[in-house]
A and B are shown apart, each in its own frame.
Chain A
């Protein structure tokens, strides 16, 4: 069997085509400030290219790596549509859907993290830490208990409802006090919220054996064992959430100066708030409905992006949609090979990678500035 050049492999990977529109949008956004007075981060195109390359590499690796060793050539044949039966089964039915789902889930969680960090002006914010995932998990568990099937399309609406509840509760908390809630206070509130939601979820799960089994197959599966039809069920919500996040980038830049300043700059802060709630709900709810609770991805990615391209949401949010899938794919590959006989939920890997990042971040004085 002939070994093709790596370039052909990358071009032939359909998974890599998905984020292309986002990437285009990012480069267009980038072209405008560059034409202005002073391009503050001229390396943005470079970063963009590097991230795209990393995404292609990660997607290719995701097709290659797994418990079953299989020659590169056979994988390429399968992707191109003339593979043998075993390669077809392995690549088309298992690894390809998994890769595509990981890219979609990663993009959703990365963008949700960037939006929530920008809106709350909280560098420690993450849909998982703040309990939004927990809300979605509770919604799914309730639906399973009430007899919903375990298909993603049946679970997406309960997951959305749960994450909406958690997002609203959290933002209500954030605005309850005098002045903005400090990052640390919000994280604590999120931990408490996640604890309550998790306790309820566990109680329902233990209460009903059928729910327990359904939950296990949903939560433990992570991005594995998902079919492309699962993704199609949540795709509309994901796309709307991403588009909404895209529409929010400019107002969020203004909100970074404080709500009052943003309002005086002509930003309708109530609409930004509503947009943030809806966007985060849609993104986190649908991502959780497919992949189960994945934490820390939304925490890490925006920081990486800020480090690379500076503090401008017009660059951060599109780049988060590229960087998060890379990280999730890498975590997923690690989750496949870390155990000898079975796979780990990808959330375990992201938690293990992400928690040190949280600890590192909190060492930063700026977090305590308020």
Chain B
């Protein structure tokens, strides 16, 4: 009952009810950044609900959300726009968390699922399933998971002498990436043209086809998984960041933790890929953005999650409304924007000479 917050020496201390014995201590900047990111995401989401063929005012959106809308606004806002907006937030969160996990495992700021080939593998797996079996969401999810796992395993296997921290990992990932893209093209070509069309829309990474009945289960699973991952790993990650030997000395079992991290990251990306196709670069950029804004060193799941949600929902807003009358797949926007971000990151690191 007596949950309270106090501020001391630039840190916020949050205490839960005494019986639960929960408490956390977070830097003010960390908390403020997360709050700001959440607020911005909420703003973008409201904008996404407002804009479309028929535009509504924020007041109309809010009243509809609280159940006081007309039948027309309920149709437009709740039935058509809400699933997509919610999907953008949930999937973005998942990608942000997954990216942070991958970067933590590989101890490499570029070790995101896009760069090390997981996304491409999941994409090729999904397209293979659509081509040879059918477009059922569970099957595609399975194919994406299998494809992603196989490619990740191959990348780790080929790069093992260089260690996962080395850039060998990244280059091997790029190579396998190219092979997967080639394989995907091959699948597109051998499929009938209508099936190929379905696969191509999925392969571009789009939220166009999202609906609660279709993607609802995937979204719910994803949300639960994300919460579980964050809650379960939040405390162990900073210890893991110190290095496996130190972590072992501090009472964390590194092998088990590494397995959990890999599992968590892989499952999260696979669920996203199954629901919306391969959406590139969010998992790469979100942890960086979150870390830089929050001013933390090492892995920070919460800022990464918030940044991921903001990035994907903004990207989807741009994809839908940048050119009136044309809804692009969101993957197109994230690739272009994420590529620019990666370039700027490289240029900065290049100047410092630290990469």
Contacts and interface: CB of A to CB of B under 8 A. Distances in A.
Interface string B324-355: 00101100110111111011001101110101
A173 B344 CA distance: 10
B336 A295 contact: no
Nearest to A177: B350
Interface in A320-370: 338-339, 342, 344-345, 347-349, 351-352, 354-356, 358-359, 362-363, 368
Contacts of A348: 182, 185-186
A203 B205 CA distance: 12
Contact of B174 (A129, A176, A177, A206): A129
A200 interface: yes
A323 B353 CA distance: 37
A185 B181 CA distance: 22
B353 A179 contact: yes
B32 to A, nearest CB: 31
Contacts of B328: 203, 206-207
Contacts of B346: 173, 185, 188-189, 192
Interface residues of B, number: 47
Contacts of A351: 178-179, 181-182
A182 B353 CA distance: 10
A239 to B, nearest CB: 30
A199 B333 contact: yes
A268 B338 CA distance: 38
B353 to A, nearest CB: 5
Contact of B335 (A177, A195, A359): A195
Contact of A202 (B110, B171, B178, B204): B204
A200 B171 contact: no
A359 B161 CA distance: 12
Contacts of B175: 355-356, 358-359, 362
A57 interface: no
Nearest to A342: B189
Interface string A179-205: 101101101110111111111101100
B285 to A, nearest CB: 11
Given A196-B340, A358-B171, A358-B174, A202 B351 contact: no
A179 B343 CA distance: 18
A185 B355 contact: yes
B47 interface: no
B154 to A, nearest CB: 9
A189 B280 CA distance: 16
B189 A344 contact: yes
Nearest to B327: A206
A215 interface: no
Interface size of A as a range: 35 or more
A342 B196 CA distance: 14
Contacts of A178: 351, 353
A55 interface: no
Give chain A's interface secondary structure class: helix
Given A173-B350, A348-B186, A189 B332 contact: no
Contacts of B351: 176-178
Contacts of B167: 184, 188, 368
B179 A355 contact: yes
A199 B205 CA distance: 12
A368 B323 contact: no
Nearest to A194: B339
B110 A354 contact: no
A184 B186 contact: no
Contact of B339 (A177, A193, A203): A193
A185 B335 contact: no
B343 A192 contact: yes
A76 interface: no
Contact of A359 (B158, B189, B340): B158
Interface of A: 124, 129, 173, 176-179, 181-182, 184-185, 187-189, 191-200, 202-203, 206-207, 295-296, 338-339, 342, 344-345, 347-349, 351-352, 354-356, 358-359, 362-363, 368
17 contacts: A176-B350, A177-B353, A181-B350, A185-B346, A187-B171, A188-B110, A188-B342, A191-B174, A192-B342, A196-B343, A202-B332, A203-B328, A344-B189, A351-B181, A352-B183, A358-B171, A362-B162
Given A178-B351, A196-B339, A358-B171, 11 more contacts: A173-B350, A177-B350, A188-B110, A189-B343, A195-B342, A196-B343, A206-B329, A207-B323, A339-B189, A363-B162, A368-B166
Question: Which A-B residue pairs are the 4 nearest by beta carbons?
Answer: A199-B336, A195-B339, A177-B350, A196-B339
